[in-house]
Each structure stands twice: as structure tokens, then as C-alpha cells.
């Protein structure tokens, strides 16, 4: 029974890692897209269980979900860049001689 439990835990771990690699790949391929919000895989430990002979085994890992991670620093930086860029355009227009 312990062998099959170990194989079951290993298959869940590999499935979770595979999904994690997909999330990382998606983040890398969309990193330069404006407005893309990075995603993160959320994992949680499985509950443990006690077998009839008193041995306690874990049940591995389970996927809790995928969440979007917003970087507040980057968002503020982007907003300031937009404001400064807009201000620079206005300043350039006011300093440029009329044509």
C-alpha cells in the first residue's frame, strides 16, 4: 500500500510541477505585453492520514489555483512614466516655435 501511495504522491507532484512550468512559460511569453498581469501557481500540502498499522503518510501536494500578481511598484512606475511622458509632450509643444 505504501508503494502505491508514494506513486500517487509522485504523480500529483509531477502534475503540479507541469502546471507550474506552464504558468512560468505564459508569464515569460507575455512579459512584454502591456497590461499583462503575471500569474502565480498556488499549491497547498495535502492532509496526512493514519494507516491501520499506525503509520502516518502524507497525501502530497494539491493545486489550489492560479492567481494574478499585481506589482504595485511597477504599476506606480508605469503611471508616473505616463504622466512624465505626457508632461514632456506638453512642455515640448509650448517650447517649440509655431509653424
Percentage with pLDDT > 70 across the chain: 70
Q: What is the mean pLDDT of residues 57-84?
A: 73
55 contacts 75 by C-beta, under 8 angstroms: no
Q: Identify which has the larger pLDDT, 82 or 45.
A: 45
Grid coordinates representing 78?
A: 508605469
65 pLDDT above the threshold of 70: yes
Per-residue pLDDT at 26 exceeds 70: yes
Domain definitions of the chain by residue range: 2-70
In terms of pTM, does the model score above 0.75?
no
Integer Rg of the chain from CA: 25
- The model's confidence at residue 60, banded by pLDDT at 50, 70 and 90, is confident
* pLDDT over 90 (residue 42): yes
| Helix, coil or strand: residue 45 | strand
Amino acid at each position: 500500500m505504501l508503494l502505491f501511495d508514494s506513486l500517487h504522491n509522485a504523480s500529483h507532484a509531477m502534475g503540479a510541477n507541469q502546471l507550474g512550468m506552464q504558468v512560468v512559460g505564459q508569464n515569460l511569453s507575455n512579459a512584454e505585453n502591456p497590461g499583462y498581469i503575471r500569474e502565480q501557481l498556488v499549491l497547498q500540502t495535502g492532509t496526512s492520514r493514519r494507516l491501520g498499522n499506525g503509520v502516518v503518510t502524507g497525501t502530497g501536494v494539491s493545486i489550489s489555483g492560479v492567481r494574478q500578481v499585481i506589482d504595485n511598484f511597477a504599476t506606480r512606475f508605469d503611471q508616473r512614466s505616463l504622466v512624465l511622458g505626457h508632461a514632456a509632450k506638453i512642455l515640448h509643444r509650448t517650447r517649440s516655435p509655431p509653424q
